[in-house]
Structure 1
Amino acid sequence: MKHSLFALTFLTGLASAGPVFARCEDVVPQLRPQNTFAQDIGRDFDTIIDEGWIEFALYENFAPWSFLKDGKPAGIDVEIGRLIAEDLGVTPRFRLVQADETLEGDLRNYVWKGAAVGGRVSDVMLHVPYDSEFACRVEQAVFTGQYAAETLAIGYSLTDYPDPDDIPTPAYFRYDTVAVENDSISDLYLASIGRGVVSDAIHRYPSSDRAVSAMVAGDTMAVMAPLAVIEAGISADETNGFAVHTPPLPGLVRSTWTVGVAVNQQHRDLGYAVDYAVEKALSDGRIPAIFAMHGLSFLPPER
């Protein structure tokens, strides 16, 4: 499944340099949802504490971050949600949701308004990529609690690339086959370099984890996707026949991004409490330990 955070990263990362503005200086203020009905804007912090539970919205089918395992939510974001709930002294509930076409759509559906048909908001949405300019444009949500970073990487078969001094970079994919998620930042980036000369070597799949699985199955020589997805996919292979690295990506201004949480702008006190819980868990090592438990690299966020 295509996740809108990748589209956001692509748009901000490939943007050409332009005039330098102070933060939010060139952003036209949006209409604020003061008149939204109470049932549409979620629960306030006091209600969450009084009722003893908090609901997190997470992306579905998004391993290793959030997915169903034996019918129950699992993954890194689930563990981070549990950590936040524990710090607040409430019980966590998890709602796995579909990604919309854009991040704005996700925030509208799950944070500040609710879907048009049968929609409702959750208390907190996890795995929201943070971008300063984007935060200026979307005033209905507060972006906080940055807990990790993601980066694009290339996984490759050691059979196809046995020489440790000769491992694949984007230029290799003029001829060497590479798997990507369809319409992801990896797909768009590889298709944009070399004026399309690598397009025949690109094999497209419905999701990044499916792309990794294709490489592991021998359908391609390499894969380009977020690091955590590649690490999770190759760790499941018992042959240890694969490796991953993060090479320079010429022309891509932003290949690493921070992820955090979003809450309704009317519930800033909830945002403060969640951010404080995340800050403590970063400082004492509990969040890095979650990644270690899953066998994944932890990339510190920008905070």
Structure 2
Amino acid sequence: MIKFSCKVFITMLSLACLLAGVSTSARADDAFAKIKKSGVLKVAVYNDFAPFSAGGNGIDIDLADALAKKLGLAVSLLPFPAGDDLGDDLRNMVWKGHYLGYGPADVLLHVPVDPNLARQNKQVAIFAPYHRETVRLVTDVRKVPQFESLDSLAGKNIGVEKVSISAVVMLGAEDGKFRDNVKIYPTATEALAALKSGALDGVLASRSEIEAAVRDDPRYRISEVSFPRLPHKGWAVGMAVKKDDAELVRQLQDATADMVASGEMAKIFARHGVAVVTP
């Protein structure tokens, strides 16, 4: 039986770790090298998600194009419908691909930069926050002359998007006090269109969705409203790639930082009527 001294064992273990590190680094470099060789950056974006991505237009569409150009690449968009949860989206569009053969992309945009989400999805790297989102209430000032608290909405018809954080908090507010007057729409865009047509008195949605819909129209007031289950400062959104694509992470991180510093990011948001909030 061959016996190893402690020193020899530690030396061999260190060498193994070093080689593993080299292998991981090589895989990461190789992944980005393949993207460069292809000349195309594949970017996954959500369907029906105005003002970020809908019908081939939006903030994330413009961002995808700008990031690709900074990396010296063309862009190829992979629009897709949101899954039942973010884990599904990360699996289908980032690290594995859909079982129907769609994806994965090189990068997915509009991913919450959240430690819990990152811990639950160890196959991906989530990074480069480029915007901070919040939930806001928009009301028609002709129908809701003043807004001081949720009590101002008593008897008012408030629209929300189905299966959204806005729907959850509005339906549950004050033990369901406003539930009978909450109207569910397939998307926030449709709820906001109903508000502008006069069918609703207000809409609870993301600030970006609201700003893009009403712009500076004096007929509508955007108000901050507090719910116990909502983070006061909102949440940051960034992007996700496969865990071992370290060079791609670095390239995209640098490109995003340059766009923020130069004001290019703010201009992209402004084109769609939204004020960017840097995380």
- Tell me the TM-score normalised to structure 1 length: 0.78
Percent identity, please. Answer: 29
Number of aligned residues: 251
Matching residue within 46, 61, 65 for 1:78: 61
Aligned to 2:220: 242
Matching residue within 101, 112, 120 for 2:103: 120
Aligned to 2:125: 142
CA distance in structure 2 between the aligned counterparts of 1:48 and 1:251, rounded to whole angstroms? 41
Contact 2:144 2:152 in 1 (8 A): no
Structure with greater helix share of residues:
2
CA distance in structure 2 between the aligned counterparts of 1:156 and 1:96, rounded to whole angstroms? 31
Does residue 1:188 correspond to 2:168, yes or no? Answer: yes
CA distance in structure 2 between the aligned counterparts of 1:84 and 1:253, rounded to whole angstroms? 29
Cα deviation digits, residues 50-104 of structure 1 (max 9, x gap): 2211110000111100011xxxx21100111111111101111111111100000
For structure 2, the residue ranges without an aligned partner over 5 or more in a row are: 1-27
| Mapping 1:214-293, distance limit 5 Å | 214-235=194-215, 240-254=218-232, 256-293=234-271
SS in 2 for 1:194: helix
Contact 1:173 1:202 in 2 (8 A): no
SS in 2 for 1:266: coil
Paired residue type of 1:194:
E
Aligned to 1:95: 78
Does residue 1:172 correspond to 2:152, yes or no? Answer: yes
Paired residue type of 1:84:
L
CA distance in structure 1 between the aligned counterparts of 2:203 and 2:148, rounded to whole angstroms? 10
SS in 2 for 1:74: coil
- Tell me the TM-score normalised to structure 2 length: 0.85
Cα deviation digits, residues 241-264 of structure 1 (max 9, x gap): 223122333453356111110001
Contact 1:161 1:168 in 2 (8 A): no
Instruction: Kindly report structure 1 stretches of 4+ aligned residues shifted beyond 6 Å.
Output: none
CA distance in structure 1 between the aligned counterparts of 2:63 and 2:213, rounded to whole angstroms? 21
SS in 2 for 1:63: coil
For structure 1, the residue ranges without an aligned partner over 5 or more in a row are: 1-40
**Looking at CA atoms only, which structure, 1 or 2, has the larger radius of gyration?**
2
SS in 1 for 2:208: helix
Does residue 1:51 correspond to 2:38, yes or no? Answer: yes
Contact 1:214 1:220 in 2 (8 A): yes
Aligned-CA RMSD value: 1.9
Matching residue within 61, 64, 87 for 2:51: 64
Instruction: Tell me how far 1:169 sits from its aligned partner.
Output: 3.8
SS in 1 for 2:199: coil
